[in-house]
């Protein structure tokens, strides 16, 4: 098991409150990258929350473009600086993960609501039909909370469930007037929180493309073209390296789990027994056959010879 030295996103929000947009988006895009791969393999998380996002501080190697706000200049000035430390994300606890298969493999009660009330998608409350867009809803709540300092809905568990199903979330800038975000950023977050899954972003890759346009006064150099005026001010955006197509797996995780759940339990038990008992022991060689009569005759002959050699003793009294 990997040892992680850091703290959870929950701890960060409790200690520091709302996060800068660049830092929040950096965390969310790492989660998006991880879940994109999980969804491709047929697995959804279903329990995204700050406690399940672990942050490790690491020295950054990227360059950041900062827009300098100066009142005496009609044109904004931009500076390119080092990133400094950043948050490396570890996504934890796939304990409620669901495998997207033709037949359900869940052993839980179908009427049971699984997940954390503050981050549940409407479809988790209304019924068992969930997919990758369920994680997109929870990610929208995470980003909303990181930027404003609080999730969009509050109250008791029952009140939270009702709000997820029927109440529209306030725009982030109305939840916290001190938040500085543009309309595009606000609309992107609210799109993640649509009640109907078909009205949200449909894939993690689609959400990631929208997150690339998030900025307030800082943006990574590779995405500086999204910041108005940066290229006109002389900021040179490095070309992106050609992306390599992801190689398909010979067998997807879904297939492997389906095989496990539907046909390989006996094989799994056998492997567990071998692991517990150690390597198989070779059978003992067969014992040579012994003829009882021959042994008895040999013993009698040996006894006769022994008696002849013994000294004679009189037993007269």
Burial 220-230 (b: 16+ CB within 10 A, else e): bbebbebbeeb
3-state SS class at 98: strand
Structure tokens at 206: 């689609």
Q: Are 113 and 93 in contact, with CB atoms under 8 Å apart?
A: no
User: Which of 47, 82, 102, 109 is an active site residue?
Assistant: 47
Alpha helices in the chain (DSSP H): 9-16, 21-40, 122-126, 132-148, 157-166, 172-175, 183-192, 204-211, 253-263, 265-277, 292-309
Q: Would residue 208 show up in a list of annotated catalytic residues for this protein?
A: no
The two counts, helices (H) then strands (E), for the chain are: 11, 8
Rounded to whole angstroms, the Cα distance separating 47 from 116 reads 7
Question: Strands, E, within the chain: which ranges?
Answer: 7-8, 43-44, 53-59, 63-68, 77-82, 85-91, 98-99, 218-220
The catalytic site residues sit at 47
């Amino acid at each position: 098991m990997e040892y992680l030295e850091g703290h959870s996103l929950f701890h960060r929000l409790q200690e520091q409150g709302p996060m800068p947009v660049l830092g929040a988006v950096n965390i969310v895009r790492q989660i998006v990258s991880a879940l994109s791969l999980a969804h491709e393999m047929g697995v959804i998380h279903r329990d995204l929350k700050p406690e399940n996002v672990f942050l490790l501080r690491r020295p950054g190697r990227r360059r950041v473009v900062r827009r300098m706000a100066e009142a005496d200049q009609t044109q904004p000035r931009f500076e390119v600086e080092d990133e400094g430390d950043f948050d490396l994300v570890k996504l934890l606890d796939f304990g409620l993960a669901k495998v997207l298969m033709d037949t359900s493999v869940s052993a839980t009660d179908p009427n049971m609501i699984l997940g954390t009330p503050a981050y549940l998608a409407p479809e988790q409350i209304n019924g068992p039909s969930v997919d990758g867009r369920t994680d997109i809803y929870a990610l929208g709540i995470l980003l909303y909370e990181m930027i404003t300092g609080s999730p969009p809905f509050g109250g008791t568990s029952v009140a939270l469930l009702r709000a997820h199903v029927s109440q529209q979330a306030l725009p982030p800038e109305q939840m916290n007037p001190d938040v500085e975000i543009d309309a595009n950023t606000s609309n992107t977050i609210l799109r993640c929180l649509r009640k109907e899954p078909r009205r949200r972003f449909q894939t993690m890759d689609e959400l990631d493309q929208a997150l690339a346009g998030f900025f307030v006064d800082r943006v990574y150099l590779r995405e500086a073209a999204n910041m108005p005026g940066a290229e006109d001010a002389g900021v040179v955006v490095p070309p992106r390296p050609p992306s390599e197509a992801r190689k398909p797996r010979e067998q997807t995780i879904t297939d492997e789990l389906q095989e496990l759940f539907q046909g390989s339990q006996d094989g799994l038990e056998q492997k567990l027994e071998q692991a517990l008992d150690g390597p198989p022991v070779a059978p003992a060689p067969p014992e040579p056959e012994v003829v009882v009569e021959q042994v008895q005759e040999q013993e009698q002959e040996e006894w006769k010879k022994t008696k002849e050699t013994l000294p004679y003793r009189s037993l007269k009294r």
